[in-house]
Structure 1
Amino acid sequence: MWKKAIAIFAVLGIGVGLAVWGAGPRAIATTDDGNVKETTYYNELKKTQVGQQTLANMVVMKVLDKNYGGDVSKQEIDQQYQATKKQLGDAFEQQLTQSGMTPEMFRNSIKLQLLERQAVRANVKISNKQLKQAYQDYQPKTQVSVILVDDEDKAKDVIKKLDDGDKFTDLVKSESKDGTSKDKKGQLEAFDSTSTTVEDSVKKAAFALKPGEYTKEPVKSENSNGYYIIKQDSQEKKPSFDKLKSTLKESLLEKDMNNQDVVNAIVGEELGKANVQIKDPELKNALATYTQAAAKKKAEAVKAHQKATKADEK
């Protein structure tokens, strides 16, 4: 959330004043040797990547807010804001300052992301074929215990100790550096294949095991400088397709919401329907990321349709 917010809105503060002023003739800075006018500042700013992105953010926010603003509540924005603030702790204000953001700008960045997610939800259609494939790939809730160590050699040493008969819980206590799970004898919260809170490498390794088995090779952590040894404690029975259908649909939607190519294409389609016109020729490419993604999506759809038509003719 934080990194994406910076990418989206860190530049907004530069352009807000110009939007309010209308980039008129009045001076925004004065000196004994001459003044800097709004128009001069605007003409220089619009040539930069920052200026281009500022305009893009403003246009996208306006279009999506009209179409999906009713689906994004202030409470939801506040919850994500507070969650990020809690996660960063004392560093939150410092991070804002270093990123050139105000609290209001950060709230706006959260709102824009939530609007994008609503646009994806409204425009992505999940087929029954996709759901059935997702069900086939689905792994039910699994309970594992882990040992996290600093390097691969250390992980191999722990695995050897397990092979020699040492107890997993004893090695958790003596070797693991994962403070959260260490206090629970190495056990993580149960997760399934749709979980977004567990590293993919951990999930993949865990689902390949049977209850009581542990990984025979170190598993590289994606989020920390270390390696896991993972033991599967138990795995629930796979629920029926009907019971999982809504969960699988949300999981597939979540993947699209986190796929920037998908998001950009859908935003581009929304901009097209809104008949957005950039009046300043030097800013004509400000929305290119979105319009090009939408054009690519359309071309791929046409190609797929032609391929399907030829297959039917045969």
Structure 2
Amino acid sequence: MKSKKIALALVGMCAAFTLAACSGGKELVTMKGDKITLEEFFDEIKTDQQVQGKLQNAIVFKLAENAYGDKVNKKEVQDMFNEQKENLGDTFLQQLQASGFTEATYKEAIAQNLAFKKMQEAHVKLTDKDLKETWKTFHPEVEVQLFGTSDEEKAKEALKDIKGGKDFGKLAREKSEDISSKDKGVVKFDSSSMAVPNEIKEDIYKLKNGEISEVLTAQQMGQQGPVTTYYVVKMVKNKDKGNDMKPFEKELKQIATDAKLADATFVQKVIGEEMKKANVKMKDKSLDGIIASFITEPEKPAKTDKKADDKKSDKKDDKKSDKKDEKKDDKK
């Protein structure tokens, strides 16, 4: 949701900067004997780091929208809109209004965010090495029943009840604090999924069908700092990946692609290439720094003249040899 909120904010920033750039001396404030124009206001705020950061983001999202917006279809936008609406439930419209958006402008922002993702994906070139590295830590999708709580004693009690024959699904619905356990405690995930903490995945993968884990512990960051959660897991359906990665090639490509998209260096390189392609220039030279980090070529190490270096080395060796000969003559 965070990335979508960023996209929403950017729509407003794009509009604001476009207005300031095109308005020239349009009056923003008037008073007796004086006025403040939009141009003056822009000159006043443009050095603010937050403003520059928002302008930088606005440029990036505008690039993506112009170059890849036509690759975003209405169904994708509607699906993501429906997903957010379902996740937020009754508070959806309230949060939308609090952010200053209508359903229409929210969809526009979703489309812009999807265009940014498609821009990155267009630059992903996976190699066999990428897939082999992904294969090392890959595990196919498993299906488990899961009980999660922040209370260790509650987890131990749940484990005792489950081993005693109590229905796992009923217990999960009634007492589990983990949101993924809301439907009979059943969770499906693979090695790329965030539905279950990575910390306990390897322990889960070791379980055989029908087997119940001991209490597993995972620590995650919450709003108030680290939070420890205790899990009890029953394996419903496990699958060994075997030695052949071809049957899982689609999943491996998606995982490897997601890893690229999460790499800040890769994303910066993509933005730089797209900026050069679109010939992005800052009309106000005092703002050049906003795009410089993306389009400035890294300094290449100075080329050395190997022949010259060899000659210098030969001269040094000759001098050393001459000094040795002089010492020998002196001894004689």
Q: Same fold (TM over 0.5)?
A: yes
1:287 match: secondary structure: helix
Q: How does 1:133-144 map to 2 (within 5 A)?
A: 133-144=133-144
**Which residue number corresponds to residue 74 of structure 1?**
74
Three-state SS of the structure 2 residue aligned to 1:286 is: helix
Whichever residue aligns with residue 247 of structure 1, its letter is E
2: CA distance between counterparts of 1:219 and 1:264?
36
Mapping for residues 211-290 of structure 1, pairs under 5 Å: 211-220=209-218, 222=220, 226-238=229-241, 240-288=244-292, 290=294
CA displacement, residues 33-82 of structure 1 (integer Å, 9 cap, x when unaligned): 74321112211231223432343233223332343233222332232123
Cα pair 1:205 1:230 within 8 Å, conserved: no
Deviations 1:241-287 (A, max 9, x none): 22211221122112222334432321122112322211212322223
Counterparts of 1:6 and 1:140, CA distance in 2: 32
Which residue number in structure 1 is paired with residue 47 of structure 2?
A: 47
Give the aligned partner of residue 187 of structure 1.
186
Q: 1:99 to 1:269 in 2, by over 3 A?
A: same
1:110 and 1:142 map into 2 onto residues whose CA distance is: 31
Structure-2 change in CA distance of 1:256 and 1:135 (3 Å): same
> Once structures 1 and 2 are overlaid, which stretch shifts more, 138-147 or 282-291?
282-291
1:1-314 equivalences under 5 Å are 2-20=1-19, 22-32=22-32, 34-101=34-101, 103=103, 105-159=105-159, 161=160, 165-167=163-165, 169=167, 173=171, 175-178=175-178, 181=181, 184=184, 186-188=185-187, 190-220=188-218, 222=220, 226-238=229-241, 240-288=244-292, 290-291=294-295
RMSD: 3.3
CA distance change for structure 1 residues 260 and 96 in 2, over 3 Å: closer, same or farther?
farther
Aligned-residue sequence identity (percent) comes to 27
The unaligned stretches of length 5 or more in structure 2 are 301-332
More off after superposition, 258-267 vs 126-135? 258-267
CA contact (8 A) 2:145 2:233 kept: yes
- Which piece of structure 1 moves more, 38-47 or 7-16? 7-16
Are the equivalent residues in 1 in contact too, given 2:200–2:216 (CA < 8 A)? no
Q: How many residues align?
A: 291
Q: Could you tell which deviates more after superposition, 274-283 or 218-227?
A: 218-227
Q: CA deviation at 1:15?
A: 5.0
Q: Which structure has the higher relative contact order (CA within 8 Å, separation 6+)?
A: 1
Structure with higher Rg: it is: 2
Paired with 1:154 and 1:288, the residues of 2 have a C-alpha distance of 55
TM-aligned CA distance change 1:259 to 1:208, over 3 Å: farther
Q: Report the CA distance shift for 1:182/1:4 in structure 2 as closer, same or farther (over 3 A).
A: closer
Q: Which runs of 5+ in 1 are unaligned?
A: 300-314
Which residue identity lines up with residue 56 of structure 1 in the other structure?
Answer: Q
Please say if residues 26 and 37 of structure 1, whose CA atoms lie closer than 8 Å, have aligned partners that are also in contact: yes
Counterparts in 2 of 1:139 and 1:69: CA distance versus 1, 3 Å = same
Deviation at 1:10, TM superposition (A): 1.5
CA–CA separation in structure 2 for the residues paired with 1:9 and 1:291: 26
The 3-state SS of whatever aligns with 1:123 is coil
The change in CA–CA distance for 1:138 and 1:175 in structure 2 (over 3 A counts) is: same
Deviation at 1:290, TM superposition (A): 3.7
The match for 1:312 is none
Paired with 2:235 and 2:294, the residues of 1 have a C-alpha distance of: 44
Structure 1 170/235 Cα, relative in aligned 2: closer, same or farther at 3 Å? closer
CA contact (8 A) 1:146 1:187 kept: yes
Distance 1:183 1:102 in 2: 32
Counterpart residue number, 2:303: none
Question: When the two structures are superposed, what TM-score results if normalisation uses the length of structure 1?
Answer: 0.77
Question: What is the distance in 2 between the residues matched to 1:27 and 1:195?
Answer: 53
SS at match of 1:28: strand
CA distance in 2, matches of 1:179, 1:80: 20
8 A contact 1:81–1:110 mirrored in 2: yes
Q: Determine the C-alpha separation between the residues in 2 that align with 1:287 and 1:168.
A: 61
SS at 1:216 equivalent: coil
- Per the alignment, residue 327 of structure 2 pairs with none
Measure, in 1, the Cα distance between the counterparts of 2:85 and 2:17.
29
- AA matched with 1:250: Q
CA contact (8 A) 1:214 1:232 kept: yes
Q: Measure the CA separation in 1 of the matches of 2:14 and 2:41.
A: 10
Q: Which residue of 2 aligns with 1:306?
A: none
